Amino acid sequence: MFLDTDVRDALPLIQAPTLVLQRRGDRAVNYRAARWLAGQIEGSRYIELEGEDHFPWVGDSDAALEPIEEFLTGVRPGPAPRASAGDGSVH
């Protein structure tokens, strides 16, 4: 159904901050279409990711989640903290 939805006329009306994420090898939506879409929304931010999965939770989800977190919070996520000795974790 989403392939039959045409939002082209509505894109220039969007006034909210907009992040467009797209995997370059996405087999459902071509990256050029996503670039075009982002170009129709004034002030939008386009980020192209490696991979071929359409859904952000499939494949390298961290690659998609990090720019989303930065977009929402304004802070670039740093590396995950490492466990220290004596905390019960296995090294």
Which residue type occupies 48? Answer: E
Q: What is the pLDDT of residue 57?
A: 79
The arithmetic mean of pLDDT across residues 35-57, rounded, is 92
Q: What is the DSSP letter of 20?
A: E
Q: What is the mean pLDDT of residues 51-63?
A: 85
What the block records as the tokens of 46 is 């386009």
Nearest Cα residue to 16 out of 86, 54, 87, 71: 71
Yes or no: say if 64 and 37 are a contact pair by the CB < 8 Å rule.
no
Task: Kindly list the domain boundaries of the chain, sorted by start residue.
Answer: 14-73
Tell me: the pLDDT tens digits for 69-87?
Answer: 999 999 987 776 676 666 5
**Dist. CA 11–CA 16, nearest whole Å:** 11
Give the alpha-carbon dihedral of 37, 2, 69, 40, to 10 degrees.
Answer: 10
